Chains A and B, each alone.
Chain A
Amino acid sequence: MTPKNVRRWSWIHKWSSLVCTVFMLLLCITGLPLIYHHEIIHALGNEVEAPEMPADTPRANIDRVVAAGMAAYPGKVMMYLSQDREEPDMWAMTLGDTPRDKNYKPLLVDARTAQLLPEPPVEGGPFMSLMFHLHVDLYAGLWGKLFLGFMGMLLIVAVVSGVVLYAPFTRKLAFGTVRHERSRRVRWLDLHNVLGIVTMVWLLVVGTTGVINTWADLLLKAWQKTELAEITAPYAGLPPVTKLGSMSQMIAAAESAAPGMQVKYVAFPGTKFATPHHYIAFMQGTTPLTSRLQKPVLIDAQTGAVTASPDLPWYMVALRVSQPLHFGDYGGQALKLLWALLDIATIVVLITGLYLWLKRGKAAAAKPAEVRAEEAAV
């Protein structure tokens, strides 16, 4: 690489990193507790668990479950009904004054007794809620998400330019060399290079999938405005549904339309994830991947008949696959630990990078000959 090219890539690396570093530090630090959100919510006593019962306890009819939830908030309407693959003993619901109520009420109902469980704290309690918002939207809604997405794009540029610069900066060193006998700046440069190249692919994947996740709302809207709008075109102009059919029939219909899959969640008519005239049941498969691809089944809210079970378009598939790859929640405790360690390694890369920039003037004065020789040799 010519010295001119090294300077060019150095400029790209410097500015793309500098602009996003503070936000990346924030994302890495808030991301750490988010990896362990289940454990932390549990430790803080904010977790609601269904009481222990024999494994063969029969499950309550889902209509009773829904009725129990609705009875808890008379006058409110059902928004979502969902079940975690790992916690089949309870159903989670949200109810609101309208199907798009932002101040919705979450509640949990025992899947076997149809009894109301204690109310779960919103977003897992104040601490996890703070971590979540600082990580996802900076309390600024869609614009906050898109802003962090842009910072993520700069991170991708920084990683790529860093990889380009890796060769000219390490060509005389064996892999992994950290020159401890040299000045702190040289040591931290070596550490930056080693940890940067080790975390490279992971950080590219987590960064890219993070950026894609910031577009979730937009991608959902795109899907609703195109394919979903086509499917539901015959319903346009019909009055909104007032009397809802039986949930157990809906679920049976959805399960027969998606054999071998289970209901992950049901969006009620009028909510953000449904249409004004349909329930959409999102069906999950049994592998970590198919449980996240969530095949949608549209069910006519009036008749209870399946209207369509379209395949998700490629961009929704990309979004759904991006979620686990960003969260690291799909391979048990070992993967979570590795995710946390890679996150910490990334924090070290960010801090050493920042340090190298802060000390740039001194170093240039201290060893111009070496820098020149380095560039000339490339």
Chain B
Amino acid sequence: MTRIFGPIWTAPIVLGVLTVIGLVSALLGDGVWDAVSAVSLGVVVAVGGWYGLRRPKAR
């Protein structure tokens, strides 16, 4: 279990933390706080878009 925990859960945990930062930051203020939100949540969406929309290269 512990041996495979890292490889499986590293990415989901990082994405989860980025989501929390993205959701909370814009609540606390405007301007730079909104930007932090947009970037961190943007990374999460970009990762989803990248893996979800990526097509294998034609061989």
Contact = CB atoms under 8 A, between A and B. Distances in A.
Given A166-B12, A197-B12, A202-B23, A334 B38 contact: yes
Contacts of A341: 45, 48-49
Contacts, number: 110
Contacts of A7: none
Given A170-B8, A198-B15, A201-B20, A335 B48 contact: no
Nearest to A181: B56
Interface stretch (A26-34, A65-73, A325-333, A368-376): A325-333
Contacts of A205: 19, 23
Determine the main DSSP class of B at the interface with A. helix
A126 interface: no
Interface of A: 163, 166-167, 170-171, 174-178, 180-181, 191, 194-195, 197-202, 205, 287-289, 321, 324-325, 330-332, 334-335, 338, 341-342, 345, 348
Contacts of A166: 8, 12
Q: Which of A163, A331, A332, A345 has the most CB of B within 10 A?
A: A331
Given A166-B12, A171-B8, A338-B42, A289 B51 contact: no
B45 A178 contact: no
Nearest to A1: B1
A198 B47 contact: yes
A49 B48 CA distance: 38
Interface string B11-42: 11001100110110111111001100110011
30 contacts: A171-B4, A175-B12, A176-B11, A176-B50, A176-B51, A178-B52, A191-B52, A194-B48, A194-B51, A195-B48, A197-B11, A197-B12, A198-B44, A200-B12, A201-B15, A201-B19, A202-B41, A287-B27, A287-B28, A288-B27, A289-B28, A325-B23, A325-B27, A331-B25, A332-B38, A334-B42, A338-B42, A338-B45, A342-B45, A345-B52
Contact of B11 (A175, A202, A345): A175
B29 A288 contact: yes
A57 B54 CA distance: 54
A183 to B, nearest CB: 15
What 6 A-B pairs come out closest when comparing CB atoms? A331-B26, A176-B51, A334-B38, A198-B48, A201-B19, A175-B11
Nearest to A203: B19
- Size class of the contact patch on chain B: 35 or more
Contacts of B45: 338, 341-342, 345
Contacts of A335: 26, 34, 37-38, 41
A326 to B, nearest CB: 11
B26 A288 contact: yes
Contacts of B7: 174-175
Contacts of A181: 56
Contacts of B42: 334, 338
A324 B52 contact: no
Contacts of B29: 287-288
Nearest to A325: B23
A331 B47 CA distance: 21
